[in-house]
Amino acid sequence: MTKIIGLTGGIGSGKTTIANYLHSLGLQIYIADEEARKLMQTPEILTYIKNTFGATVFVNGKLAREKLAKIVFNEPKQLKKLNSIIHPAVKTHFKEWLSQNTAAEFIFYEAAILFESGNYKNCDYIITVTAPIETRIARVIARDKTDREEVLRRINAQWTDEERIAKSDFAIENCDLKIAKDQIDEILKILRIKQKHR
């Protein structure tokens, strides 16, 4: 039976790099944040967002993600509202995707807010990816062309590494990619042994 492995980590931890490595090994990965971005462009979700946050988060009829991010990452209540729109849509989409991948030994479900969304409950095992805070800040500034203050706001809106690790089966520190890949290889060995002995 297919096992669902949750893959999570805070912003800038490098979990997408780990997901890409898993994908290169021929494993099936569902990138929840990527799918959420696509779903946010569907007419139904756009209507929900407009009704909830107003027309100010739209420019020329298109969703201005930066404007929406500024609202939700500054106000926990607003973030909760956005999540209540996006999470059910992602959950439904994942179920459909899962039904088409039932032959896979493992399915990796990659999500930044795996715990906050409650989706960790659907996972058989969980891997948390970590990195030192300064490394994370530098990565996000380089990737999103944003500033330190904004990155810290987003980090503070998520669970801490300690909170995630306490609820995870495995943890990987992703500073040196080669070492991180070795850790993943080791985890896959353990998971395959567990599968055989079930």
Domain 3-192 belongs to what architecture?
Answer: 3-Layer(aba) Sandwich (3.40)
Mean pLDDT of 120-136: 95
Across residues 85-112, what is the average pLDDT? 92
pLDDT score of 40? 93
Answer positive or negative: Cα dihedral of 69, 73, 74, 75: positive
pTM for this prediction: 0.89
How many whole angstroms separate alpha carbon 93 and alpha carbon 158?
23
State pLDDT tens for residues 144-190: 888 999 899 889 888 999 999 999 999 999 999 999 999 999 999 99
Residues near 146 by beta carbon (within 8 Å), at least 6 away in sequence: 140
Q: Comparing 1 with 102, which gets the higher pLDDT?
A: 102
pLDDT band at 73 (very low <50, low <70, confident <90, very high): confident
Question: What is d(CA 29, CA 137) in angstroms, rounded to the nearest whole number?
Answer: 25
User: Using an 8 Å Cβ cutoff, are 65 and 84 in contact?
Assistant: no
Residue 75's pLDDT band (cuts 50, 70, 90)? confident
For the chain, give the mean pLDDT. Answer: 92
Q: How is the chain split into domains, by residue range? A: 3-192
The pair of three-digit structure tokens given for residue 23, joined into one six-digit string: 């994908």
**Which residues define the annotated binding site?**
12-17
Q: 197 pLDDT exceeds 80?
A: no
Question: What local confidence, expressed as pLDDT, does residue 131 receive?
Answer: 95
pLDDT range class, residue 198, cuts 50, 70, 90:
low
Binding residues for ATP: 12-17
Measured between alpha carbons, how far is 51 from 31 in angstroms, rounded to an integer? 27
pLDDT of 7-49, one tens digit each? 999 999 999 999 999 999 999 999 998 999 999 999 999 999 9
How many Å is the Cα radius of gyration of the chain? 17
